[in-house]
Amino acid sequence: MKKIIVFASGSGTNAENIIKYFAKTKIAKVVSVFTNNAAAKVIERAKNHQIPTEIFSKSELLERNLLQKIQEIDPDLIVLAGFLLKFPDHIIEKYPNKIINIHPALLPNYGGKGMYGMHIHRAIVNNKEKETGISIHYVNEHYDEGGIIFQKNVALTDEDTPETVAEKIHELEQKYFPEIISRLLEE
């Protein structure tokens, strides 16, 4: 069975969805959740599914000791699910094309430093976009610039607010993120 590590910084709804999805398969299992936020709800979600958590600081992420903990697990895939820090080059180099991220917009639009969550949804509404979506991509040394694996769009209306855009994006994330992870692990 293949091993997945999930990195998350916040509520953990995508992380929990991935945990539940793979608990029902023989393809892979989420073996650990890593977070940089000791108050993140993802910790409670992981514990509810008996998934070990690793809490670390930004400086620990940049140091080699976190890489050592990842290497001890020997994951087949590292999944960033609402992880807000820039992933360090030394981990990316060790796991080429084995680290993926989900972004709540159609990259390359609305990507880059500071573009996450409601910041993106507000910008999309303010720019009167007619559609948005999700992008699942490989992680490289630049924010949101790794090769795109999958995109799914959703139509927007003039009545959409940042909150309704967030709901539409969340539905896409919940439906497609585990499926794309599964497909990648089966290749």
Catalytic residues: 103
Q: Which of 48, 68, 47, 103 is nearest to 56 (CA)?
A: 68
- Taking the C-alpha atoms of residue 133 and residue 110, their distance in angstroms, rounded to an integer, is 11
Q: How far is CA 104 from CA 90, 162, 171, 174, in A?
A: 26, 12, 11, 12
Any known ligand binding at 13? yes
Any known ligand binding at 14? yes
Judge residue 106's burial from the number of C-beta atoms within 10 Å of its C-beta, 0-12 exposed, 13-18 middle, 19 or more buried. buried
- Taking the C-alpha atoms of residue 130 and residue 159, their distance in angstroms, rounded to an integer, is 11
Any known ligand binding at 114? no
Cα dihedral 65→68→70→75 (10° resolution): 170
Any known ligand binding at 101? yes
Show the tokens assigned to 138: 């490989």
What are the respective helix, strand and coil percentages of the chain, to the nearest 5? 40, 25, 35
The binding site consists of 12-14, 101
The binding site for (6R)-10-formyltetrahydrofolate consists of 101
